[in-house]
Amino acid sequence: MTFRTTAFVAVVCFALVALDCWNSWHSRQAELQQMEAAASNLARAMAQHADDAIKKTDIMLVGMVERIEHDGTDSAAISRLRKMLANYVAELPQLDALHIYDSEGNWVANSRNTPPQNLNNAGREYFVFHRTHEDRGPHIGVPVRSRTNGKLLIPVSRRINDADGRFAGVALATIDIDFFNRFYTSLDIGEAGAVALVSESGTMMTRRPFGDAMVGRDMRETELFRAYLAQGPAAVAYIESAQDGVTRLNSFRRLAHYPLFVAAALSKNEILAVWWRDTLRHTAGVLFLMSIIGLVGWRLIKQMELRSKTEAQLRRARDALETLNATLNTLAMEDGLTGLANRRQFDVTLDSEFRRAAREASTLALILIDVDCFKQYNDIYGHAAGDECLRSIGRIIADLAARRPGDLAARYGGEEMAVLLPNTEVANAASLAERIRLAVRDLQIVHAGTTEGFVTLSAGVEACTPEPAQGHPKELIEAADMALYAAKAQGRNRVCTARPLNFDLAAAPHAPWPAS
């Protein structure tokens, strides 16, 4: 019981912990899934923002290239073009400036009214690219620092051709990196979150947290870039930052029209901060609950142990009492010397068997046995020897007489014994008495006071079939006693019946006796 209670308490505690772990795990997964969706939406918005900004800029470039190629570069056309460029820049907040260079890298026009003198852009990456590539599409170059205003800029450019399709210059739009930074500042990405705009060739355009040193950095060897290449144009990945060691949930998205991608990264610790707080609260609650269950269970087990101990003591006490009671009962019904039933039991049994015989109209027989000249035996051999002699006679009577369940051998008093035999005719009872007599004689217990020289006994036998509500057990005893008296009177060492038998008992002591 104690084991089962302990097991039950343990199972309840285990179930509580398992349930809480399962719950926590699921809410953690849900939290991460939500954050993956949020990071993915963020990346989509950033990609859209960058794509729009570059697209609008590129549309301007297409117009500029078309105009130069069509109108040429005479002073009137350039003057009109300058105005147009200035208007464009005023219209688009992302634009820092618009420039047109000739095939040597010299300024033809720009959105500022005063093109810088003595500066040549032939060495710039975008210029070299267009001079060496016939491709007419837009080109997004590596970020540069403006030599006129010192700003960090992303160059977007297109090639200008002459009428024969030869390289005639470059139309360039520079997008202020601050334009992106302002947008990225407005995003809610937490304390340790990060966002980045990176070219597919592996150049960092800008990022938050901001830092000029990061702009233009080669990203090809970073985890971020490798993850992008491995996962494709729209994916999420957990990456541990090599810079600050923070693990972030990164969502990548390629721009729809340009070879750039954005990455929105949310710190895993920040994502799970609320979950951690809830989990710690739950865990504390579960621990508290477990300690209460444990305490109650412990007290319960102690009480049960105490109860079973008390019950065991009570059981032992009851068993002892029952044993004592049985002993007392036996003692109360048994003769201490011979082990036969005592007089009390004999009286009770005689009474009940007499009534049963009356009820069932059956015959009840009684043998009264008396040791011959026992006073003399005591006198000659002592009282202790007398006791031993009675014990031996008791054993013989018990062996021979009490064979059927209803038979009773008892010590009637002193050296006198009685055998009560239900359902027994007088002849059978006399036959049994004779066998007892012979058996005792055959013990050959020396007795100098008898004529045989051994201990002998005399017996009186009577049987009756009592009429219902008539007669008394006393009458049966008196009749058997009379027969015993007769046996004594006839010289002892014999069996006498109250009424004459129709056979010679001494000649056939074993004759008629019902099977046991």
Ligand X SMILES: Nc1nc2c(ncn2[C@@H]2O[C@H](COP(=O)(O)OP(=O)(O)OP(=O)(O)O)[C@@H](O)[C@H]2O)c(=O)[nH]1
Query: Binding marks (x or -) toward ligand X, 172..211, rule CB under 6 A?
Result: ----------------------------------------
281 binds ligand X (CB under 6 A): no
Closest by CA to 430, choosing from 501, 489, 485, 492, is 501
Q: Please name the helix (run of DSSP H) or strand (run of DSSP E) that holds residue 487, with its range, or none.
A: helix 473-489
State which of residues 180, 354, 374, 412 lies at the interface with ligand X (CB under 6 A): 374
User: Residue 467 has what DSSP assignment?
Assistant: P
Q: Considering only the stretches 64-72, 137-145, 220-228, 366-374, report the one whose residues sit in contact with ligand X under the rule CB under 6 A.
A: 366-374
Q: List beta partners, residue 253.
A: 234, 262
391 binds ligand X (CB under 6 A): no
Torsion angles phi and psi, residue 286, rounded to 5 = -65, -40
386 binds ligand X (CB under 6 A): yes
User: In the bound complex, what is the minimum distance in angstroms from residue 377's beta carbon to ligand X?
Assistant: 8
Q: At what angle do helices 177-185 and 2-71 cross, to 10 degrees?
A: 150
Going across the sheet that includes 194-199, the strands are 204-208, 194-199, 260-267, 247-254, 234-240
Residue closer to ligand X, measured from CB, 124 or 447: 447
Residue closer to ligand X, measured from CB, 233 or 491: 491
372 binds ligand X (CB under 6 A): yes
User: In the bound complex, what is the minimum distance in angstroms from residue 448's beta carbon to ligand X?
Assistant: 14
Query: DSSP letter string over 251-263?
Result: EEEE-SSSSEEEE
Closest by CA to 96, choosing from 154, 10, 56, is 154
Query: Binding marks (x or -) toward ligand X, 301..340, rule CB under 6 A?
Result: ------------------------------------x---
Residue closer to ligand X, measured from CB, 322 or 387: 387
State which of residues 383, 391, 472, 510 lies at the interface with ligand X (CB under 6 A): 383
State which of residues 415, 434, 462, 481 lies at the interface with ligand X (CB under 6 A): 415
Q: List beta partners, residue 239.
A: 248
Q: How far apart are CA 140 and CA 50, in angstroms?
A: 12
Residue with the closest Cβ to ligand X?
386
Residue closer to ligand X, measured from CB, 301 or 438: 438
Q: Which two tokens stand for residue 236?
A: 């999420």
Q: Which two tokens stand for residue 466?
A: 């009592």
Torsion angles phi and psi, residue 280, rounded to 5 = -65, -40
418 binds ligand X (CB under 6 A): no
Residues that bind ligand X (CB under 6 A): 337, 370-376, 378, 383, 386-387, 390, 414-415, 488, 492
